[in-house]
């Protein structure tokens, strides 16, 4: 019985690898597969570094990397809200009355129109520097309402014991120009089982996505793409609910049309070029201690090509690694959604539904 169970698990893990590689090969079909492994890696790394360079100067990057700390008593809430409760057009127009007993004591937004979405117009500095909103002083000088958040879908269903269901789909406009869209999903049933995915589409044509599904088996991934073409993707599958290196069962790194695969079910690390196993290529995966086993956090890949030359992936992608690491961490933490979009949504919810106000 135990042998049959082990055989089943082995077949399942191999199937996961095959499916991931198959999907990756399909999405990378536009990449040139007629070049050598070394040329393919170099060409793909050049595209990754170009993408990182372009994104680092974008308004979308500046938005995702906002990191001001929230006010001491304004870090969360325990009510459930959905989009229907807060639809409309709202302008930043602070009301002078303070409700000191309320978790959101000042009413920041005044409803100025009807909409099926949540549309919020506010000063740019309140978004890029949230401390000006958290610690707002009435009659403080503020810029014009030149930043717009347009959420077409939103809900936060919350209950005790860390159970919640979250969704956000929103676009962002600065000075009447689109700067990107954000889609997020998250749900949890206690601490042991939770999942989330976050994807930001940049107006430059790139997108970056992270996901985590935690349970008896944990799967974590991030991907950088140019429209539908994957430039870089990392997938990790762990035994149990925590991402420790000693629990890692499968690791797949995709660089353009090259896949590097390490699995507990395979004796050696395998390299595929356009889906074809490269028998002469060699790979060594190097982890620093106390890391989560990702190339964004101290994992390195030493490649040995057919001609005998070697290259460290961290050195090849060094120009773009800091940018990618920052974006991945930002999407994993969901900071922008938690401390800006949620803060605004709940402020509107409290003051439109729970507190008296003057129009």
d(CA 257, CA 42): 11
Average pLDDT over the chain, rounded to an integer: 83
Does the pLDDT value for residue 103 go beyond 80?
Answer: no
Run of H or E including 314: helix 313-316
235-249: pLDDT as tens digits: 999 886 565 556 788
Q: What 8-state DSSP symbol labels residue 106?
A: B
Instruction: Name the least confident of 27-31, 111-115, 230-234, 332-336.
Output: 27-31
Q: With 50 as the cut, is the pLDDT of residue 4 above it?
A: no
Per-residue pLDDT of 177-229, as tens digits, reads 999 999 999 988 766 667 999 999 999 999 999 999 987 888 999 999 999 99
Report which of 338, 358, 7 is spatially closest to residue 168, judged by C-alpha positions: 338
Q: How far apart are alpha carbons 130 and 262 in whole angstroms? A: 42
- Burial group, residue 126, by CB count within 10 angstroms (0-12, 13-18, 19+): buried
Determine the pLDDT at residue 334.
81
pLDDT of residue 56: 95
Q: How many CB atoms lie within 10 A of CB 279?
A: 9
Over residues 121-127, mean pLDDT: 92
Which is higher by pLDDT, 6 or 245?
Answer: 245
Q: Can you give the pLDDT at residue 266?
A: 79
- Tell me the three state secondary structure of residue 109: strand
Q: Please give the pLDDT value at position 238.
A: 87
Q: What is the pLDDT of residues 287-342, one digit of tens each?
A: 876 667 789 888 999 999 988 899 999 999 988 999 999 999 999 888 888 888 98
pLDDT at 242: 61
Instruction: Supply the DSSP string of 274-293, one letter for each residue.
Output: TTEE-SS-EEEEEE-TT--S
Q: 2-16, 212-226, 274-288: lowest mean pLDDT where? A: 2-16
CA distance 43 to 110: 51
Place 77 in a pLDDT band, splitting at 50, 70 and 90. Answer: low
Query: Alpha-carbon distance 25 to 18, whole Å?
Result: 10
Counting residues of the chain whose pLDDT is more than 70, the rounded percentage is 79
Find the helix or strand (DSSP H, E) in which 112 lies.
Answer: strand 109-113
- Cβ atoms of 96 and 116 within 8 Å: the answer is no
Q: Give the pLDDT confidence score for residue 244 in this predicted structure.
A: 59
Query: Positive or negative, the Cα torsion across 287, 292, 293, 294?
Result: negative
């Amino acid at each position: 019985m135990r042998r049959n169970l082990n055989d089943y698990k082995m077949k399942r893990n191999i199937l996961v690898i095959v499916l991931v590689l198959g999907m990756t090969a399909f999405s990378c079909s536009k990449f040139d597969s007629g070049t050598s492994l070394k040329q393919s890696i170099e060409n793909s790394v050049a595209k990754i570094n170009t993408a990182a360079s372009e994104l680092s100067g974008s308004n979308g990057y500046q938005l995702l990397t906002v990191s001001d700390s929230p006010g001491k008593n304004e870090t969360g809430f325990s009510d459930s809200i959905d989009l229907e409760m807060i639809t409309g057009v709202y302008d930043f127009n602070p009301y002078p009355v303070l409700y000191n007993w309320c978790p959101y004591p000042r009413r920041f937004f005044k409803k100025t129109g009807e909409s099926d979405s949540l549309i919020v117009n506010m000063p740019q500095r309140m978004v890029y520097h949230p401390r000006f909103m958290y610690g707002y002083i009435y009659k403080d000088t503020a810029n014009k309402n030149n930043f717009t958040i347009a959420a077409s879908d939103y809900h936060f269903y919350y209950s005790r014991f860390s159970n919640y269901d979250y969704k956000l789909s929103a676009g962002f406009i600065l000075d009447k120009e689109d700067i990107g869209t954000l889609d997020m999903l998250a749900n949890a049933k206690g601490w042991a089982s939770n999942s989330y995915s976050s994807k930001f589409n940049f107006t430059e044509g790139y997108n970056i996505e992270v996901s985590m599904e935690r349970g008896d088996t944990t799967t974590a991934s991030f991907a950088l793409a140019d429209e539908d073409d994957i430039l870089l993707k990392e997938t990790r599958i762990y035994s149990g609910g925590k991402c420790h290196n000693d629990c890692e069962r499968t690791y797949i790194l995709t660089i353009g049309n090259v896949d590097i695969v390490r699995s507990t079910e395979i004796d050696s690390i395998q390299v595929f070029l356009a889906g074809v196993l490269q028998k002469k290529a060699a790979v060594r995966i190097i982890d620093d201690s106390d890391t989560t086993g990702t190339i964004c956090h101290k994992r390195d890949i030493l490649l040995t090509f057919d001609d005998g030359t070697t290259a460290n992936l961290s050195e090849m992608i060094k120009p773009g690694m800091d940018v990618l690491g920052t974006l991945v961490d930002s999407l994993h933490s969901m900071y922008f959604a938690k401390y800006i979009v949620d803060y605004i949504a709940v402020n509107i919810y409290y003051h439109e539904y729970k507190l008296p106000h003057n129009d």
